[in-house]
């Protein structure tokens, strides 16, 4: 599908600087642009590429002032925030690729399940007893929905997602391939012979509206009650969230984060990749955690933390400078000891 610069400017409430009839049929990074592609420039580090790009249209900030001649084939669309506007276009482009309503065969839908309007259900999907699915939901091939699962409107479950029985998924939720929601929490108790006996996990997982979960994540059901992923949370690929964890609104975590059981993560928390968070603690709203950090205890007030065990990131950096100097300090101590022995002999 083709769009002209004039049409795109209308969508973004921008101004055309160049040929309003210039058209595009795809999106590209500014350094990889070619004829018929649309790019954007917001980071000054990439400005050099705009003078050589092959893109037909580029979205820029209204404040952008070229330092040299632009390609004659390039039309600019000036907007208040180029990055935000390009993100909006990506969202529009992505929505155009939604699956058409259809229930592919073979798939299994239990007769007690209810499905709203305009569904897409891919081949080999399994929908269990008393499942409730809202409107405009997309369920890709090989998705498994256990008994009593609820899926809200406009949600997307990509291929091979498994939602165990009794779990609840809100509106506008996206779950990427291979993720498992509601698997058993890691609950065992040793008996008198030190043999681990499984503690039944009878709770569920509740995922609220506007959540996105990456591929190959695991979110465990609660032992009792619910594991919560609150409104607007964003979870990257390969994350593990244990039983009875509560991740509050608009928190984001990068890949390979692990959160142990019953931890409570506040609102607007940012968690870097490969961070490990111990169980039964609370992390204050607005906390930022640098990648590969370890959080062993409660964080009572918002801070930027780094290291394992994590401390204030500025303190960590100062401590690390000292750590790097340890070989030099040890050699000096050894030299002082040698000199002291010589003086003692004299």
Token pair 């406009």: residue: 154
Task: Tell me the whole-structure pTM to 2 decimals.
Answer: 0.85
**Ramachandran quadrant class, 338 (left: phi over 0; alpha: psi -120 to 50; beta: rest):** alpha
Q: Which is catalytic among the residues 110, 130, 176, 243?
A: 243
Length of the chain: 346
pLDDT tens-digit readout, 270-289: 999 999 999 999 999 999 99
Q: Contact, 289 vs 271, CB < 8 A?
A: yes
Contact 271, 250 (CB under 8 A): no
Q: Is 243 a catalytic residue?
A: yes
- When pLDDT is averaged across residues 246-269 and rounded to a whole number, the result is 98
The values of phi and psi at residue 79, to 5°, are: -135, 170
How far from each other are the two terminal CA atoms of the chain, in whole angstroms?
92
pLDDT of residue 229: 98
- How far is it, in rounded angstroms, from Cα 171 to Cα 141? 20
pLDDT digits 0-9 by tens, 8-23:
999 999 999 999 999 9
What mean pLDDT value characterizes the chain? 95
């Amino acid at each position: 599908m083709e769009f002209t610069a004039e049409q795109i400017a209308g969508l973004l409430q921008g101004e055309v600087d160049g040929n309003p009839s210039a058209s595009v049929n795809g999106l590209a990074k500014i350094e990889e642009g070619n004829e018929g592609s649309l790019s954007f420039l917001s980071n000054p580090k990439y400005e050099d590429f705009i003078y050589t790009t092959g893109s037909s249209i580029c979205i820029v900030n209204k404040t952008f002032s070229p330092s040299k001649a632009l390609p004659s084939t390039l039309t600019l669309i000036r907007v208040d925030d180029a990055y935000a506007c390009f993100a909006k276009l990506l969202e529009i482009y992505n929505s155009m690729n939604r699956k058409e309503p259809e229930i592919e065969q073979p798939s299994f839908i239990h007769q007690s399940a209810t499905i709203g309007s305009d569904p897409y259900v891919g081949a080999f999907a399994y929908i269990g007893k008393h499942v409730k699915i809202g409107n405009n939901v997309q369920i890709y091939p090989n998705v498994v929905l256990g008994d009593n699962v609820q899926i809200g409107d406009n949600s997307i479950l990509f291929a091979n997602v498994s939602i165990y029985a009794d779990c609840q998924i809100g509106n506008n939720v996206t779950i990427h391939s291979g993720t498992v929601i509601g698997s058993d929490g890691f609950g065992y108790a040793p008996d008198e012979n030190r043999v681990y006996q499984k503690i039944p996990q009878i709770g569920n997982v509740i995922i609220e509206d506007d959540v996105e979960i990456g591929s190959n994540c695991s979110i465990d059901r609660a032992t009792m009650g619910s594991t919560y992923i609150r409104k607007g949370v964003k979870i990257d690929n390969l994350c593990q969230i244990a039983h009875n964890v509560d991740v509050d609104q608009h928190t984001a975590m990068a890949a390979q984060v692990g959160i142990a059981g019953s931890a409570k993560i506040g609102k607007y928390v940012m968690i870097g990749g490969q961070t490990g968070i111990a169980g039964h603690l609370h992390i204050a709203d607005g906390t930022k955690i640098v990648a590969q950090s370890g959080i062993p205890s409660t964080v009572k007030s918002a801070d930027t933390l780094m290291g394992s065990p994590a401390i204030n990131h500025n303190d960590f950096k100062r401590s690390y400078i000292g750590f790097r100097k340890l070989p030099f300090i040890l050699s000096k101590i050894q030299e002082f000891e040698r000199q002291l022995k010589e003086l003692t002999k004299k």
